[in-house]
């Protein structure tokens, strides 16, 4: 069994114990353990502390610097450095039980090719001598959470097929559900294994539940991506957002009504606010423990949670809408000279070579959630120089190298055929936009010659030219926007307003 382990770390002391446990016991060792140091740059005061893991594991540990943008970006940085078919994600605050490696091998070895992932079991140890606190119960929810990356193994090919984790999720808890839903929508299955990790409850202060409300911002993106039923499909609790919004509105309007000389209305609104806060507090106090400290914390935070949750959800909706207007609705890509080196009339997949940095640039688009399509003139078919099945074989090889590229829109006609699809005419661009269900004017086409730019203009789309030695000087001069590499072009396409010139 060949696999690699990815551990994003925020610098928790528990990382040392995790590495010790991972190196102990039976079972095949991982080919590599990639520890992604994801501490924010401002907090880094020295190297990440790894302790002294067993020698046979220590020689396999690779420490890499993460982007510092949260667990989704850190996991992407890890698995994209991996080389094995299976990558196992572990959080830096879990502890694999003895025999975890052996159990992982058994979990993965029996899976069919249509199974993209295997979820491990998470056990949260709770106090035996008293009821758990609200924070302890919250952490214990990981035991029943679907697809938690506290212990989750994925096929690297499946991650590549869907673009990995969506880096627009800056926090934990939603990025793993989003990935799993996209994997399932791509036609894969997810299995539940038998291996087990412990997830101890981390120490937390009295306001931890208040800070947790920031996750409501991510729910806006989940709904936009997966629709109203995403909670049911992801097995996520329904939540109290509507109730929180009502309580917050009552609390905010009550003093306004009083100032406006409407005491009865103000009293009614105040009573509604008080009843809502009391109900929330009791729902959290009733399971216990009912000591003075816990009760005081529940009362205080129950008054603050409704406006905090409402604010974060509104902030998430605003950010989502701002992103949706800033990002293109789709990026369309020329093939020859843009994604791969141009070999005229090539029908041989063995001659396909990806442009430098192409995979990284495309992964950037996938991580941003931008749909892709390829629009390519293949006049060799119309000229009788290559067959359509050879074009399809080359296209398959391109996706083997660069990952999924969405629908392929190909014009097989010769230049003199008078078709509407051959670039610089707009047919391919308009057809790609229709296939993707987006507006052509909100698409960006990236290509290497003037025909690509002209096709985008004719369809009302934006264009970025990435010149090659074959691009004519007059085409470069006429382009509205140019970039030195495909990666640079992607950054321009993603930047707000810059690709609309």
Fill in the DSSP letter of residue 214: G
Chain CA centroid to CA 458, Å: 34
Q: Which residue has the tokens 């975890």?
A: 100
Q: How many CB atoms lie within 10 A of CB 238?
A: 8
Closest CA to 156 of 78, 61, 220, 46: 78
Cβ(285)–Cβ(295) below 8 Å: yes
Helices (H), 53-212: 55-58, 71-79, 100-109, 134-140, 156-162, 175-185, 208-211
Instruction: Decide if 411 contacts 378 (C-beta within 8 A).
Output: yes
User: In this structure, what token pair is assigned to residue 327?
Assistant: 């990002």
Distance in angstroms (rounded) separating the CA atoms of residues 99 and 305: 41
- Element (DSSP H or E) covering residue 120: strand 115-123
Q: Which residues are catalytic?
A: 334, 336
112 CB neighbour count, 10 Å cutoff: 7
> Taking CA 180 as the corner, what is the angle to CA 86 and CA 195, rounded to the nearest 5 degrees?
50
How far is it, in rounded angstroms, from Cα 426 to Cα 140?
55
State the alpha helices, DSSP H only, in 227-291: 230-234, 241-259, 263-285
Residues 448/438, Cβ–Cβ less than 8 Å: no
Rounded Cα distance, 491 and 168, in Å = 15
Q: What are phi and psi of 464, to 5 degrees?
A: -130, 125
- Whole-number Å distance between alpha carbons of 344 and 321: 43
Q: Report the candidate in 246, 267, 270, 266 with the shortest Cα–Cα distance to residue 257.
A: 266
């Amino acid at each position: 069994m060949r696999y690699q382990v990815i551990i994003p770390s925020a610098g928790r002391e528990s990382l040392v114990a995790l590495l010790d446990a991972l190196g102990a016991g039976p079972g095949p060792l991982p080919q590599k353990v990639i520890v992604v140091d994801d501490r924010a740059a401002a907090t880094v005061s020295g190297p990440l502390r790894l302790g002294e893991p067993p020698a046979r594991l220590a020689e396999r540990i690779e420490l890499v610097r993460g982007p510092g943008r949260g667990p989704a970006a850190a996991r992407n940085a890890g698995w994209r450095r991996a080389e094995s078919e299976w990558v196992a994600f572990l959080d830096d605050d879990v502890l694999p039980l003895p025999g975890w490696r052996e159990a992982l091998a058994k979990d993965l070895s029996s899976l069919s090719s249509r199974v993209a992932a295997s979820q491990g079991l998470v056990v949260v140890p709770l106090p035996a001598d008293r009821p758990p606190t609200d924070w302890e119960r919250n952490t214990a929810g990981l035991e029943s959470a679907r697809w938690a990356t506290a212990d989750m193994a994925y096929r690297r090919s499946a991650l590549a097929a869907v673009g990995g984790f969506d880096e627009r999720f800056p926090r934990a808890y939603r990025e793993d559900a989003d990935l799993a839903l996209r994997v399932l929508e791509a036609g894969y299955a997810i299995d539940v294994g038998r291996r087990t990790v412990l997830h101890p409850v981390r120490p937390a202060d009295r306001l931890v539940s208040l800070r947790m409300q920031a996750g409501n911002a991510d729910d806006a993106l989940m709904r936009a991506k997966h629709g109203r039923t995403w909670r049911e499909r992801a097995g996520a609790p329904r939540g109290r957002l509507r109730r929180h919004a009502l309580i917050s509105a009552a609390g905010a309007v009550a003093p306004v009504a009083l100032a406006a000389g409407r005491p009865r209305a103000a009293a009614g609104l105040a009573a509604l606010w008080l009843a809502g806060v009391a109900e929330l507090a009791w729902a959290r106090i009733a399971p216990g423990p009912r000591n003075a400290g816990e009760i005081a914390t529940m009362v205080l935070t129950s008054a603050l949670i409704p406006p905090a949750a409402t604010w974060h959800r509104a902030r998430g909706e605003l950010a989502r809408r701002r992103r949706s207007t800033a990002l293109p609705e789709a990026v369309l890509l020329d093939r020859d000279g843009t994604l791969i080196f141009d070999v005229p009339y090539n029908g041989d997949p063995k001659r396909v070579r990806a442009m430098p940095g192409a995979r990284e640039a495309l992964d950037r688009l996938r991580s941003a959630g931008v749909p892709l399509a390829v629009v390519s003139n293949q006049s060799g078919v119309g000229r009788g120089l290559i067959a359509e099945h050879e074009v399809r074989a080359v296209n398959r090889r391109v996706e083997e190298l660069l990952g999924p590229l969405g629908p392929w829109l190909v014009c097989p006609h010769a230049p003199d055929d008078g078709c509407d699809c051959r670039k610089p005419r707009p047919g391919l661009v308009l057809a790609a936009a229709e296939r993707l269900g987006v507006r052509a004017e909100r698409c960006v086409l990236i290509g290497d010659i003037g025909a690509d730019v002209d096709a985008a203009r004719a369809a009302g789309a934006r264009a970025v030219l990435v010149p090659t030695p074959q691009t004519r000087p007059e085409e470069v001069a006429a382009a509205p926007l140019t970039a030195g590499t495909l990666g640079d072009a992607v950054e321009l396409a993603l930047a707000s307003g810059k690709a609309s010139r």
